[in-house]
Amino acid sequence: MHEMSLMSGMLSIANDALRGLNVKRVNAVTVSVGVLSNCLTDALELAFRSLSENTVFEGARLILCEKDFLAKCSVCGKEFTASGFPVACPACTSARLAIISGDEVYIESIDYEEEVCQKSQ
Q: Cα separation of 81 and 105, whole Å?
A: 18
Asked if residue 114 binds other proteins (CB under 8 A), the reply is yes
Round to whole Å and give the CA distance between 85 and 17: 36
* Distance of closest approach, residue 24 Cβ to other proteins, in angstroms: 10
The reply on whether position 50 binds other proteins by CB under 8 A is: no
CB atoms within 10 A of CB 86: 6
Q: Which is nearer to other proteins, 58 or 114 (CB)?
A: 114
* Triad 119, 112, 2: Cα angle to 5°: 145
Binding other proteins (rule: CB under 8 A), the pick from 18, 46, 70, 100 is 18
Answer for which of 56, 105, 119, 121 binds other proteins (CB under 8 A) is 105
